[in-house]
């Protein structure tokens, strides 16, 4: 390899920024490609220029971390110590080359080492009626508030389970939104099961409880979600049952939904990474060694490989860069302290996973006419039929039912579809497998390719 | 009615005003709005689903779900959640008829 290796980092969230800074410190000049217009990722997402709320208002207890990451990245970019490609999507990875979709079309960029810090998005389970206008992910509700200063409805109901459910509810209330109810499908008993793990980060756990307390009587644990009602302009109400089985119809014009996170792994798949089914997170995750090495010059960091949250992503970013440096035969920072921290975060994350689980039973009992794939309105009945027809294999069912073939490429239906197939075929979700990744991982206009070279 | 949209502006209301056109009708926006924010500040939906009767108004707001596509009058579509609105922008909720 020549003296200056071409290192490309995909993603400018906490993991990508720390990876970039570690490489720069070692005297290298990485390229950072990110879809955002300003570095920060989703959790530390920044509003456009001209917005005035300070980080304390946007990120609460995490403001100092956000401020530090933003300042660090801006400085490295300004001083020209890295090449920053903002507003650009990596849509394919093959044979040491990335296809990058930006304003000028698609450009091929070669790399010797690739660090993927692609993050995660909401893990979604379908609820009958979720295709209607006014139903958003919890992440969307938070992005709208942080990056635009808006609520996505006048009367809001949040549903799902996980730390984001409580956090988004508390943030919306604080900003003055009308939050009618925050409905957690995890029961109190289930939440106590995660207690031992959550004790690994007592301050974070207590902060979560304090946020929960702010929700007051809006918060209900152990609910059953029946259906979302809507008229021609969107959502009008949510029908649900409380833990005691009592039925409630809560009028609302916006619903935010999410069950923790789903790792964004399409590029890891295209880059040739191996995957393993993670029983606790109920999803397929790319395989790496302890510090993010996936083989073939590919490294993974952050929520796109292990769902440890922003603090874990910062650490994993540093580790992945250290692995990369070591493989290049350059002096690498020591990893011992970071690895110990990561172990503690891992224990906490496992606690979260068991306290706020994927609602497998809810998905398995979806009515046949409920929509599973929101892109093409594929119903649960069609997925079950596909499994009956083609057997319990994810890609067979995908081609028979079209679930996962829509324009989001399975990001929001895959886990539910696999759960339905497993139930139908009488096997485990692991045995059903996962949808194969396909390039381009974002829809790209044909014209973008025509402008190339 | 210009003030009756899906979105409620809770903060950052002191930005410069901008105008854009949706299906030929003039609408107001604030500098820094995404196309999604701008359209839903004065309306309830972005587009119709091609596969069902219900309208759509976006879902993930991070460029992953592709639910928020709208069209420019000159043809190409854009993702409303991740495209900033610009003064004088001309948008459509349906594809232009001459567009292949």
Q: Rounded to whole angstroms, how far apart are CA atoms A363 and A171?
A: 28
Question: How far from A376 is each of A228, A269, A323, A373, A440, CA to CA, in Å?
Answer: 18, 24, 41, 6, 18
User: Between B6, B9, B63, which is nearest A149 by CB?
Assistant: B9
According to the model, what pLDDT value does residue A98 have? 98
* Averaged confidence pLDDT in chain A: 96
Give counts: helices (H), strands (E), chain A: 17, 24
Average pLDDT over residues A165-189: 97
Q: How confident is the model at residue A309 (pLDDT cuts 50, 70, 90)?
A: very high
How far off is chain B from A68, nearest CA to CA, in Å?
23
Chain A nearest C-alpha distance from B95 (Å)? 14
Tokens at residue A339, please? 């690895």
Q: Choose among A48, A253, A442: nearest Cβ to B32.
A: A48
* Confidence (pTM): 0.96
Write out chain B residues lying below 8 Å of A175, CB-based: 10-11
Identify the residue among B16, B31, B57 best suited for mutation to test binding to A, counting A beta carbons within 10 A and taking the highest.
B57
Per the CB < 8 A criterion, the answer to whether A116 and A11 are in contact is yes
Q: Angle at which helices A202-215 and A163-175 pack, to 10 degrees? A: 50
pLDDT for residue A445: 85
Evaluate whether A117 touches A10 at the Cβ level (below 8 Å). Answer: yes
Share of chain A above pLDDT 70, in %: 99
Size of interface A-B (CB pairs under 8 A): 142
User: What secondary structure does DSSP assign to A363-394, as a single string?
Assistant: HHT--TTSEEETTTTEEHHHHHHHHHHH-S-H
Q: Are A186 and A220 in contact (CB under 8 A)?
A: no
Closest approach of B62 to chain A, Cα-based (Å): 7
Domain spanning B18-92: which CATH class is it, in words? alpha beta
**Chain segment A90-107, per-residue pLDDT in tens:** 999 999 999 999 988 999
Residue among B57, B65, B81 minimizing CB distance to A234: B57
* Residues A159-171 as b or e (16 or more Cβ within 10 Å = b): bbbbbbbbbbbbb
pLDDT of residue A315 exceeding 90, the answer is yes
Looking at the predicted structure, is the pLDDT value of residue B9 above 70? yes
Distance (Å, whole) CA A211 – CA A192: 17
Question: What is the domain partition of chain A in residue ranges?
Answer: 7-121+262-351, 124-259, 361-432
pLDDT of residue A97: 97
B75 vs B68: CA distance, rounded Å: 16
| CATH fold label, A7-121+262-351 | FAD/NAD(P)-binding domain (3.50.50)
Interface of B with A (CB under 8 A): 6-16, 31-34, 37, 40-41, 44-46, 49, 51-52, 54-67, 76-77, 81-82, 84
From B61's Cα to the closest Cα of chain A, the distance in A is: 5
| Domain A361-432 sits in CATH 1.10.10.1100 | yes
Domains A7-121+262-351 and A124-259 share a fold: yes
Per-residue pLDDT, B1: 35
Residues of A in contact with B7 (CB under 8 A): 144, 150-153
Contacts of A3 (CB under 8 A, 6+ apart): none
Cβ contacts of B3 within 8 Å, gap of 6 or more: B42
Non-local CB neighbours of A444 within 8 Å, separated by 6+ positions:
A89, A91, A101, A106
Which residues, 6+ apart, have CB-to-CB distance to B14 below 8 Å? A52
Shortest CA distance from A174: residue in chain B: B10
Closest CA to A281 of A336, A358, A216: A358
B60-96 pLDDT per residue, tens: 999 999 999 999 998 889 999 999 999 999 999 988 8
CA dist A317 and A311 (Å) reads 10
CATH superfamily placement of domain A124-259: FAD/NAD(P)-binding domain (3.50.50.60)
Q: Which residues pair with A150 in a beta bridge?
A: B9
Nearest CA-CA distance, residue A22 and chain B, Å: 27
Nearest-neighbour CA in chain B from A444: distance (Å)? 10
pLDDT band at B97 (very low <50, low <70, confident <90, very high): confident
Domain ranges for chain B, please list them: 18-92
User: CB A148 to CB B34 under 8 A?
Assistant: yes
**Residue A451 confidence (pLDDT):** 62
Q: Which residues of A touch B33 (CB under 8 A)?
A: 148
Answer yes or no: is pLDDT of B40 > 70: yes
Residues A190-236 pLDDT 10s: 999 998 899 999 999 999 999 999 999 999 999 999 999 999 999 99
The ipTM of this complex is: 0.95
A226-283 confidence digits (pLDDT tens): 999 999 999 999 999 999 999 999 999 999 999 999 999 999 999 999 999 999 999 9
Q: Which of A51, A52, A120, A140 would best serve as a mutation to test chain B binding (most B beta carbons within 10 A)? A: A140
- Give the per-residue pLDDT at A446: 84
- Token digits of residue A251: 């009028």
- CA-nearest residue to A130 within chain B is B59
> Any bridge partners for residue A110, and if so which?
A97
């Amino acid at each position: 390899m020549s003296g200056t290796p071409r290192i490309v980092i995909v993603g400018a969230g906490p993991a990508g920024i720390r990876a970039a800074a570690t490489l720069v410190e070692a005297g290298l000049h990485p390229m950072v490609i990110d879809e955002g217009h300003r570095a920060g990722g989703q959790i530390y997402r920044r509003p456009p220029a001209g917005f005035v709320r300070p980080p304390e208002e946007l990120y609460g207890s995490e403001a100092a971390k956000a401020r530090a990451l933003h300042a660090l990245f801006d400085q490295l970019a300004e001083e020209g110590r890295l090449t920053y490609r903002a507003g650009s999507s990596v849509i394919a990875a093959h044979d040491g080359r990335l296809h990058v979709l930006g304003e000028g079309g698609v450009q091929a960029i070669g790399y010797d080492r690739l660090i993927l810090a692609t993050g995660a998005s909401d893990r979604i389970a379908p609820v009958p009626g979720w295709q209607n206008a006014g139903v958003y992910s919890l992440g969307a509700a938070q992005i709208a508030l942080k990056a635009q200063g808006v609520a996505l409805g006048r009367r809001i109901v949040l549903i799902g389970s996980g730390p984001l459910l409580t956090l988004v509810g508390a943030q919306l209330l604080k900003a003055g939104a009308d939050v009618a109810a925050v409905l957690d499908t995890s029961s109190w008993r289930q939440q106590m099961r995660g207690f031992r793990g959550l004790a690994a980060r007592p301050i974070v756990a207590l902060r979560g409880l304090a946020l929960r307390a702010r929700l007051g009587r809006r918060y209900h644990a152990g609910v059953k979600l029946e259906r979302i009602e809507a008229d021609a302009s969107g959502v009008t109400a949510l029908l649900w049952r409380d833990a005691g089985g009592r039925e409630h119809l809560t009028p609302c014009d916006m619903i935010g939904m999410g069950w923790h996170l789903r790792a964004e792994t399409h590029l890891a798949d295209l880059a040739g990474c191996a995957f393993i089914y993670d029983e606790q997170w109920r999803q397929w995750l790319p395989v790496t060694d302890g510090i993010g090495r996936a083989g073939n010059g590919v490294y993974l960091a952050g929520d796109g490989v292990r769902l440890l949250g922003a603090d874990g992503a910062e650490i994993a970013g540093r580790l992945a860069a250290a692995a990369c440096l070591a493989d290049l035969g350059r002096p690498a920072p020591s990893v011992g302290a970071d690895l110990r921290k990561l172990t503690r975060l891992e224990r906490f994350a496992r606690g979260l996973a068991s306290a706020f689980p994927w609602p497998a039973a809810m998905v398995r009992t979806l009515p046949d006419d409920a929509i599973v794939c929101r892109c093409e309105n594929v119903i649960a009945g069609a997925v079950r039929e596909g499994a009956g027809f083609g057997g319990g294999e994810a890609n067979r069912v995908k081609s028979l039912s079209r679930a996962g073939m829509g324009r989001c490429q399975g990001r929001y239906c895959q886990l539910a579809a696999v759960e339905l197939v497993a139930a139908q075929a009488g096997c485990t979700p692991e045995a059903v497998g996962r949808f194969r990744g396909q390039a381009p991982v974002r829809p790209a206009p044909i014209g973008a390719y025509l402008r190339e070279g | 009615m210009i003030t009756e949209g899906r979105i409620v502006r809770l903060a950052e209301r002191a930005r410069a005003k901008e105008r854009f056109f949706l299906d030929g009708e003039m609408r107001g926006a604030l500098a820094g709005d995404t196309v999604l924010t701008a359209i839903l500040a004065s309306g309830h939906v972005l587009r119709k689903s091609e596969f069902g009767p219900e309208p759509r108004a976006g879902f993930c707001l991070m460029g992953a779900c592709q639910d928020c596509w709208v069209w420019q009058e000159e043809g190409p579509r854009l993702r409303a959640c991740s495209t900033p609105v610009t003064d004088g922008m001309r948008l459509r909720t349906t594809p232009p008829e001459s567009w292949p």
